[in-house]
Amino acid sequence: MRCVRALLRWTFRFLGAVALIVTAGVVYEAIAAAHDDHRYPPPGRLIDVGGYRLHLKCAGQGGPAVVLESGSGVSSNGWALVQPELSKVTTVCSYDRAGYGWSDFGPLPRTMDRIAAELHRLLHNGGIRGPYVLVGHSFGGEIVRVYAGQYPTEVAGLVVIASAPDDWRTRMPASFVERADKSAGAQRRDFDLLPMAARIGLLRFFGFQSYFSYLRAHMPSEIAAAEISFLRRGKPFQAVRAEEIVQDDRLPIWSFVDQPLIVLDDKWQLPQHPTADDLEAERVWRELDENVARHSVRGKLTVTERSGHMSPLEQPETVIGAVHDVIQQLRQEHGSGSP
């Protein structure tokens, strides 16, 4: 009986200590998050798109207006090296999808159709005149293609960067699809836990240190600090999870006919001793990228040989050059003014 009582006392003390630590973590995180909000105010405008606000940051003058769509898990800060250079030649806007950066969370489900419709309202409510040159990185490259299908008259040109090609799941080798699904499953499990870890302050002290170092190495210091603050608060993880849970990797039918279209893909990373499946995966992926470029008779594919997946940060000059190319083509067609 004494052993039972001792065990109960130890259990209650342990649970009480855990509750105290969790409560302290929640309070600490709330104070730190409020400090981050004060230190890193939105650099752009918060615009209502239907009862919730999205953050839109524009710079430069003239047309055609360039709209930058970020990849999964990255706020508008991901364009820190691209937007300032493009703003020297035209109007350029980056924004935060719902749940990212300075934007509010948006309604569910977070389908690509909904995201494209939100971007459409954001640009119109923000007074940004089209037609636009849409630039999408990774998951953002899928969104800009959906936008082109939904609002074809509002898109003058496309730049698609390191983005999954149409029908990759049905065309790539089964071993590649299996590895991709396994990796995505592991990421989803992590992202289910990370928002809770953030709420009790754990992300301020543990995890992501290598990624934080990467951001500090590739972004201006103040912008990197703002992006890290979002990650420490766990804000993007819930948004990423909501986006991924409803995606089926199939894009609606879209065609760009004869508008400028540039597809930038990162160099395929083969293992040191590639198997036949590895080589086949590289060949098929490149073929699928070429098919994306063929959506326009003026489409072309360029491989960014010197960067990994994050070319807007690792090889921004190539991204800037591709957008300049599209702008030049449009201005030559329509004179010096906007298309």
Query: Are 31 and 176 members of one domain?
Result: no
Task: Note whether 137 and 273 are same-domain residues.
Answer: yes
Residues in the chain: 339
Spatial separation of the C-alpha atoms in residues 175 and 186, rounded to whole Å: 17
How many C-beta neighbours within 10 Å does residue 183 have? 10
119-138 pLDDT tens trace: 999 999 999 998 999 999 99
Helices within 94-208 (DSSP H only):
112-125, 139-150, 168-171, 174-199
Work out how many domains the chain is built from and give that number. 2
**158 & 97 share domain:** yes
Examine the domain organization and report whether 34 and 64 are in the same domain. no
CA-to-CA dists, residue 295 to 158, 279, 287, angstroms: 11, 25, 13
CB 113 within 8 A of CB 142: no
Q: Say whether both 29 and 148 belong to one domain.
A: no
- In this structure, is residue 252 part of a structural domain? yes
Residue 197: inside a domain: yes
pLDDT of residue 335: 66
Cis check: omega of the bond before 109, within 30 degrees of 0: yes
Same domain assignment for residues 21 and 125: no
Residue 330 and residue 307 in one domain: yes
3-state secondary structure of 158: strand
Most confidently predicted of 12-26, 155-169, 269-283: 155-169
CATH number, domain of 158, equals: 3.40.50.1820
- CA pair distance 2, 95, nearest whole angstrom: 63
Per-residue pLDDT averaged across 87-102, rounded?
Answer: 97
> Is the residue at 18 inside a domain?
yes
And the tokens for 186? Answer: 């592991």
Q: Is residue 321 a part of any domain in this protein?
A: yes
Per-residue pLDDT, averaged over 189-205, amounts to: 71
Pair (210, 70) in one structural domain: yes
3-state secondary structure of 236: helix
| Residue 77 resides in a domain | yes
Residue 307: the pLDDT is: 66
* Residue 262: strand, helix, or coil: strand
Give yes or no for a cis peptide into 260 (omega within 30° of 0): no
Its domain, for residue 29, covers 1-39
Strands 45-48, 53-59: pairing is antiparallel
Q: Are residues 311 and 284 in the same domain?
A: yes
Model pTM score: 0.88
* Cβ proximity of 31 and 232 under 8 Å: no
Verify that 95 and 189 share a domain, yes or no.
yes
Do 94 and 243 lie in one domain? The reply is yes
Q: Are residues 30 and 56 in the same domain?
A: no
Residue 339 lies in a domain: no
| Res 277: pLDDT | 81
DSSP secondary structure string, 39-93?
A: HS--SSEEEESSSSEEEEEEE--SSSPEEEE--TT--GGGGTTTHHHHTTTS-EE
Domain-embedded: residue 319: yes
* Any domain includes 250: yes
274 or 151: which carries more pLDDT confidence?
Answer: 151
